[in-house]
Structure 1
Amino acid sequence: MTRFYEKKYPDVDELVMVQVMSIEDMGAYVKLLEYDNIEGMILLSELSRRRIRSVQKLIRVGRNEVVVVMRVDPDKGYIDLSKRRVSAEEVVRCSEQYEKGKTVDSILTQVARKHEGMSAESLYEKIAWPLHKQYGHTYDAFKLSISEPDHVFAPLGLDPDLLTELRSTIARRLTPKPVKVRADIEVKCFSYAGIDAIRRALQAGEAVSTEEVPIKVRLVAPPLYVMTTTSTDKVAAIDLMEQAVERIGESIAQEKGDLVVKMKPKVVSETEDAELKALMDKFEAQNMDVAGDDDSEEEEE
């Protein structure tokens, strides 16, 4: 682990991620994870806004905490921190920033291992810190480099072999992986043209599809249908699937039919996908069994 940022110490009022090392009478000793594990302290009075009855309920050794910097004395090496002055929104923001930093650190460490005599620290100096200064965070620069490598890396003047390895590692780690989104619905319509009404409603749902988020509807067993899509943009896929479900509901309602959402659109795991396939195979097998029974009865007659 090295410094995520070029400066050696954090600024006053900066949010930082720390890990609790020990709890003493004065407060908790911690290490600053983004600043080369330098030591800091959360004073007992800065642990909580409420009266402290049990320190162990507020903070535990080994746990990561988001805190804000109150005082920094570089000469003596003192860093005073506060947990009680951090809002829930700030915890989320700092946690996201820390995860970005961990990803960058992992990428640079991997690249350094592939090049003999090169350290992660030297890559921070050559790559991470200059990009952080220009783009606000090295992670954001790495993400942009997937589509615009020359724009991001040309000013750094990196060795061609190093650049190739860096780009390859970034692509493996940061290229979005497709996720599967699914929704289960029941669609019923008992009017004279009910089957056609259901078909039109399902087609209306599929028509919401885009090139990036294609939606397919399949029959499991009447009246249960499954809607699926695969996309690298999870949020967009769920949002579009919700729109498709709404469109189906509107269409079938006009035909005096009914829509029941059995499972709202969500990302499904391989296990859930396998369970669905097993269920569909089961229904298909049952249908074949019934057809076989009919044939045998006709032969007996």
Structure 2
Amino acid sequence: MKFSGWPDPGELVVGRIDEIEDFGVFVDLLEYEDKRGLCHISEVASGWIKNVRDHVNVDQRVVAKVLDVDESSQQIDLSLKDVNDHQRKEKIQEWKNEQKADKWMAIAFSEDMDDEQYAAIANELLANFGSMYDGFEQAAIHGTEALEETDLSEEEVEAIVQTARENVSVPYVNVTGYVDLECPTGEGVDVIREALQAAEGNGEVPEEIQLEVTYVGSPEYRIEVQAPDYKTAEAHLEESAERARSVVEQHGGTGLYHRERNEDDE
């Protein structure tokens, strides 16, 4: 996807060195339709520059900072030296992600989709998620629920979710905690079994969450959670322990949640 408008001053853009002159370099902006910027020799690199060609090459991909935009004169002033290594890597990755999302759009809606439909769907994803890539990623993780707040049709939502789940590699994190469960009553074994079933969610854990409870050594049980992000993983970890604790305490037992394994069980 290429934007039809103009970049904003201060924005980082991905470009390709198109032409090198003694006074600077011309850069084709790869994210914008028919847009070209100029990076003056003083903005190519820090310090005194004897020869611009010692610093850049034709066809080189670069990340530049937009210094100024003059639409009336069709001029975009750029800086290469104002972009640090971290910003450069982050921007290139963002650009690559949007290229992936562009391909996923073609898979979801065919390469023959018209520009108007593409723009409408892309703008919905941009407005709700900040980027098309993030929209597809959230669809892969949360399914149709992720797109409930958009104005996309049911058919468009289903197409995005199906394509996302077949093509998006979702990042996951793992967290681990422990819960001590004790129930000294005559039904203690059954109560513990019920508590463990509750800890595992009784089949009601969201499909994007993987949760497993395993025995460590009496009275300790390990809870492992895999989720798309740490905040979600931690929340499900604590909820799992709380469900188990609630069951045993209802039957006169005790439950204690902790993050570190007891040394006595080593």
Distance between the aligned counterparts of 2:42 and 2:136, measured in 1? 40
CA deviations over 1:2-28 (Å, ceiling 9, x no partner): 22xxx7111101111111111123311
* 1:145 matched to 2:139: yes
Distance between the aligned counterparts of 1:146 and 1:112, measured in 2? 17
C-alpha contact 1:126 1:156 (8 A) present in aligned 2: no
Distance between the aligned counterparts of 2:71 and 2:52, measured in 1? 28
* 1:172 matched to 2:172: no
* 1:49 matched to 2:46: yes
Cα distance change of structure 1 residues 232 and 134 upon mapping to structure 2, 3 Å threshold? closer
Question: Which residues in structure 2 correspond to 1:92-171 (within 5 Å)?
Answer: 92-113=89-110, 116=112, 118-119=113-114, 121-154=115-148, 155-158=150-153, 160=155, 162-171=156-165
* 1:80 matched to 2:74: no
* 1:36 matched to 2:33: yes
Q: Percent identity?
A: 24
**Equivalent residue of 1:70, what SS?**
strand
C-alpha contact 2:18 2:58 (8 A) present in aligned 1: yes
C-alpha contact 2:141 2:170 (8 A) present in aligned 1: no
Number of equivalent positions:
177
> Which one of the candidate residues 56, 60, 67 is aligned to 2:57?
60
**Equivalent residue of 2:125, what SS?**
helix
Structure 1: gaps of 5 or more residues: 179-209, 213-230, 234-301
C-alpha contact 1:108 1:123 (8 A) present in aligned 2: no
Distance between the aligned counterparts of 2:128 and 2:62, measured in 1? 28
Partner amino acid, structure 2, of 1:156: D
Q: Residue 21 of structure 2 corresponds to which residue in structure 1?
A: 24
CA deviations over 1:6-65 (Å, ceiling 9, x no partner): x71111011111111111233111111111241111111110112213322311111110
Structure 2: gaps of 5 or more residues: 173-209, 213-225, 229-266
CA deviations over 1:65-117 (Å, ceiling 9, x no partner): 01100010112211110001111221122122212221222222333435x4x
Q: Residue 290 of structure 1 corresponds to which residue in structure 2?
A: none
Which is higher, the Rg of structure 1 or of structure 2?
1
Cα distance change of structure 1 residues 75 and 89 upon mapping to structure 2, 3 Å threshold? same
**How big is the shift at 1:150?**
2.3
**Equivalent residue of 2:110, what SS?**
helix
Distance between the aligned counterparts of 1:159 and 1:126, measured in 2? 14
Cα distance change of structure 1 residues 75 and 152 upon mapping to structure 2, 3 Å threshold? farther
- Report the TM-score when normalising by structure 1: 0.52
Distance between the aligned counterparts of 1:71 and 1:15, measured in 2? 12
Question: Which residues in structure 2 correspond to 1:2-21 (within 5 Å)?
Answer: 2-3=2-3, 8-21=5-18
**Equivalent residue of 2:47, what SS?**
coil
Over aligned residue pairs, what C-alpha RMSD do you find? 2.8
Distance between the aligned counterparts of 2:171 and 2:147, measured in 1? 24
